[in-house]
Amino acid sequence: MEIISIIVLFASFFTLLMLKVPVAYSIGISTTLSLLLNIDNLPGITTIAQRMTTGIDSFALLAIPFFVLAGEIMKRGGIANRMINFAKSLVASLPGGLAYVNVLASMLFGAISGSAIAAASAIGSIMTDRMEEEGYPRELSASVNITSSTTGLLIPPSNTLIVYALASGGSASVAALFIAGYLPGILLGFAIMGYIAYVAITKKFAKGARAPLSEIATNFGNAFFSLLLLFIVVGGIVAGIFTATEASAIAVLYAAVLALIYGDIKVKDFPDILLTAARTTGVVMFLICTSMAMSWLFSFEGIPELMSGFLLEQFSNKFVIFLVINLTLLIIGTFMDMTPAVLIFTPIFLPVVVALGMHPVHFGIVLVLNLCVGLCTPPVGTILFVGSGVANVSVTKVIKPLLPFLLIMIIVLMLITYIPEISMFLPTLFEL
């Protein structure tokens, strides 16, 4: 009966996805159908409802709506423009300088907002036209924006890393994950810049004027208090001054006060900001609800043990197993959104990699970066569609220039997978 339940679970799930049923509903329906094969209707439906409810009964998850709200305030509060001007004064004079600006601004804004979508929409809507004026094809600008915006999911604060901490069952703390994401996120950003340098030199893109030190200092001063939020939030968590949830509330207050001082947001704008953040939070929380129910069903059916036994029996080399897991997650990421993928597949693969000596924090960074690739690929790729939309180019035209950037992301993924020190150096240094 267990095998039949597993077959029904996956068959119904993929069928519903192919029928374009929203992911959250696909997860919930397939989970319910599978469980009803084992127990009666009323207890089965009651159990699913209980698991959905208890799945979000977590103090750590309170950080998500606060970080979503903080990101929405920052998106509308003129912070993106200040980031772009500061980044431009640093690197615009280099070959491909404006593309570097896009990457740096995405890294900074994505890290502060904790949202790849916010970074892609805020930075892309500003940078695409600027880059086109200096001879950059809109398709290339969109590709740079799409891939660089994912760095904010690694560089803290990151909602996805909070979700992984929950899915790991406490084996990876939010503080350790946050500090572990810095070097991989920076490495990814620099790798994207490396390819941009090659393209800029071969295609002879125009260089910008070198900014005088006075302009750099002015732009840094304008962006300083925005950048300071990173140190307040992450530094406070790492130092043990406050939890991730408390840090998220501080981020909202800080961002609101800063936006009001800058004058880019008025008090009358907050009802609409709150409504938008509430809608986003509702979608995320519903995904978490259904994903936690499916994750519980996996444990109920013994799927993590089956997967662990299968991989350890079929492959004797741990490096091959890591490769198989990465390839599996790359495929999953193409059709499943990041939040449910983290919640569903962490309980399956985490026991396997831990048995092979990989630290849970290290695996969290590998998992998130892996699924970042899926955000940039069809058919589900959220960031792909957002980035193409703000650049006003069709997805089909973006795919070709996007492919080298996706290859860069996969190369960085392999480096982070097989060189654990990239992820674990800072957590080890801070004894997290």
Q: Are 423 and 353 in contact (CB under 8 A)?
A: no
Highest mean pLDDT among 67-71, 154-158, 301-305, 354-358: 354-358
Angle at 385 between CA 383 and CA 386, to 5 degrees: 60
Using the predicted structure, report yes or no on whether residue 208 has a pLDDT greater than 70. Answer: no
Using the predicted structure, report yes or no on whether residue 351 has a pLDDT greater than 80. Answer: yes
In angstroms, the Cα distances linking 114 to 39, 111, 155, 177, 314 are 41, 5, 8, 14, 39
Model pTM score: 0.88
Q: Other CB atoms closer than 10 Å to residue 419's CB: what's the count?
A: 13
In angstroms, the Cα distances linking 282 to 21, 133, 279, 289 are 18, 39, 5, 10
Average pLDDT, the chain: 87
> Residue 370: what pLDDT?
96
Q: Are 141 and 120 in contact (CB under 8 A)?
A: no
What are the residues whose beta carbons fall under 8 Å from the beta carbon of 293, sequence distance 6 or more? 27, 28, 31, 48, 51, 52, 55
DSSP for residue 205: P
pLDDT in tens, 399-420: 999 999 999 999 999 999 999 9
pLDDT in tens, 37-73: 888 888 888 999 998 888 788 787 888 888 888 888 8
